[in-house]
Structure 1
Amino acid sequence: MTDTPAALREAHHADVSGGWLRPAVFGAMDGLVTNIALIAGVGGGGVSPRSIVLTGTAGLVAGAISMGLGEYTSVRSANEQVAAEVAKERRELERHPEAEARELAEMWVARGLPADLARQVAAAVRRDPELALRMHVREELGVDPDDQPSPWAAATSSFLFFSVGALVPLLPYLLGATSLALALAVGGLGLFLAGAVVSRFTNRAWWSGGLRQLLVGGAAAVATYLIGMLIGVQGGLG
C-alpha cells in the first residue's frame, strides 16, 4: 500500500461513460425478466414443454436482435446529436470568440471561481481553438467530445448479455426437465445473482440489489402467469 492520493491513482473511479457496461447490465436484466415472464405466461396457459421451449427461444432471438439494434440506434443517434452540437459550438467560437470567452468566464464565476481568475483562464483557453472547443462543450453540454461511447460496443454487449439472460430460465427445459416451477426458480436465482453482481458497481448491499431485482422479475412473472392462465382457461387449454 502507498500513500498516493486517490485522485492520482489509476482506476480510482469506475467507468461511467456509458461504453459497454450499461447496455450489458440492461441487456442481461431485460433478457432475464422478459423470458421469465414469457415462459410464465405461456406456461400458465397450459402449453406443452416443447411449446414453452419454442416460445422462449423465439423470445431470446427476437429480443436479442431488438436490443442490439435499439442500442446501436440509440447510441449512434446520441453521438450524432453531440457531433452536431460540437459543430454548432465551433461556429460560434469562430464567429464570436470574445463573447464565448466571456460566457465561459461567467459560468466559472457562477460556480464560485473569482471573477478575475475566471477571465484570465478563459482568455488563456481562448488562445487554443481546440482546447476552447472542448472546454465549451464540456461546460455547456456536459459531455466530453473525445470520449463518446461506441454504438457497436453497446449493440454487441446488449445482444450478447440479453441472450445470456434469456437463456437462464430456458436451461431446465433444454436439459430435459418439464417443470415450469423449476424453470421459474432457476430464472429467479438468475435475477438475484444478476442484481447482486450489479450492486458491486453501485455500492449497494449485494443482498439488497439481488432482492430488488428478484422482486421486479417476480412481479412480472406473476402478472403474465395469471394472464396466461386466464386466457388458457377461456380458450380451453387448461
Structure 2
Amino acid sequence: MSEGGAEGRAEIHHAHRDVNGGWLRPSVFGAMDGLVSNFALIAGVAGGTSSTRVVVLAGMAGLAAGAFSMAGGEYVSVASQRELAIAEIDVERRELERHPEAEQRELAQLYESRGVQPDVAAEVARQISLNPDKALEVHSRAELGVTMQDLPSPKIAAVSSFLSFSVGAVLPLLPYLLGVTSLVGSAIVSCLALFGAGALVSRVTARSWWYSGLRQLLVGVVAAGLTFGLGHLLGGGAL
C-alpha cells in the first residue's frame, strides 16, 4: 500500500449523530405533546364529569385530532422550510453560473477569514470551483448552513410526528381502556411516562437524565392540574 493509500488517509475516531434527518425533532416533540396534551385533556374532562365513557371518548378524540393536526402541521412546516432552502440554493447556483470568478474570490476570502493563508486559500477555492456541483455544495454550506443532502423530508417529519404523538397520547388513556375508572390510574401512568420521556431525551442532549425527567414531569403535572381544576370548576365532577 502506498503512502497515499491507507497510511496517508486520516483516521476517523468518532461519529456524530444525525441532526438533519428531519425525524428527531418531530418525533420528540410529537411524543411529548401527545403525552402532555392528552393527559391534560383527560384530566380536564375527568374533573368535570364522573362518566368514564365521556373521558375515554374525549381521550380518543384528543388522540386522533392531535395526531392528524401534528402530522399536517409538520408536513407543511418542513415542506415550506425545504422549499425556501431550495430557492436560496438555486440563487447560489445562478450566481456561480453568472459570476464564477467573483464567487471563487468570495470562497477564498471565506477560507482566509478562517485562518488559511491567502495563497493556499486561493488555490483551494480554485480547485473546488473546478467542480460546479462541489462548488455549489461548499458555497451553500458556507452561506446558508445547508446543502441539498441536508434538507429534511416533509413525509418523514409528518409520519414521525403522527406516530410519536399517537404513542404519547395513548398512554394517559391506557388505564381507562384496561378498565380503570379513576383518574388516579391515568395520572400514575402519565407521570411515569413524563419522567421517562424526559430522561430519554437527555440521551440526545447535554442535560442530565434526572433534570430532563423532572422538567418534563413538572410541565405535564402543571398542565394537567390546571385543566383538571378548570374542568372541576365548570362541571363539578369528581375523581
Same fold (TM over 0.5): yes
Indicate which of 205, 220, 223 corresponds to 1:220. 223
Query: What are the equivalent positions in structure 2 for 1:1-238 lying under 5 Å apart?
Result: 8-9=12-13, 12-233=15-236
Residue 7 of structure 1: CA displacement?
A: 6.5
Structure 1 runs not aligned, ≥5 long: 1-5
CA spacing shift, 1:47–1:157, aligned 2, 3 Å: same
Superposed CA offset, 1:124-149 (max 9, x none):
11111111111100000001222322
Aligned letter for 2:35?
Answer: L
Q: Would you say the 8 A contact 2:38–2:59 is kept in 1?
A: yes
Distance 1:93 1:118 in 2: 18
SS at match of 2:179: coil
Cα deviation 1:34-55 (Å, max 9, x = unaligned): 1011011111123411101000
CA distance in 2, matches of 1:7, 1:38: 53
Does structure 1 conserve the Cα–Cα contact (< 8 Å) formed by 2:21 and 2:150? Answer: no
For 2:116 and 2:44, the matched residues in 1 are separated by 59
The 3 A distance-change label for structure 1 pair 226 and 7 is farther
Tell me the matched-pair count. Answer: 229
1:149-178 deviation line (CA, Å, top 9, x unaligned): 221111111101100100000011000011
Deviates more, 1:66-75 or 1:43-52: 43-52
Match of 2:6 in 1: none
Percent of matched pairs sharing the same residue: 59
Q: CA deviation at 1:111?
A: 2.1
Partner residue in 2 for 1:3 = none
Output the CA distance in 1 between the equivalents of 2:50 and 2:70.
27
AA of the residue aligned to 2:133: E
TM-score by length of 1: 0.91
Greater than 3 Å deviation, 4+ residue runs: none
SS at structure 1 position matched to 2:138 = helix
The one-letter amino acid paired with 2:194 is: L
Residue type at the aligned position of 1:89: E
Structure 1 residue 100: deviation in Å?
1.0
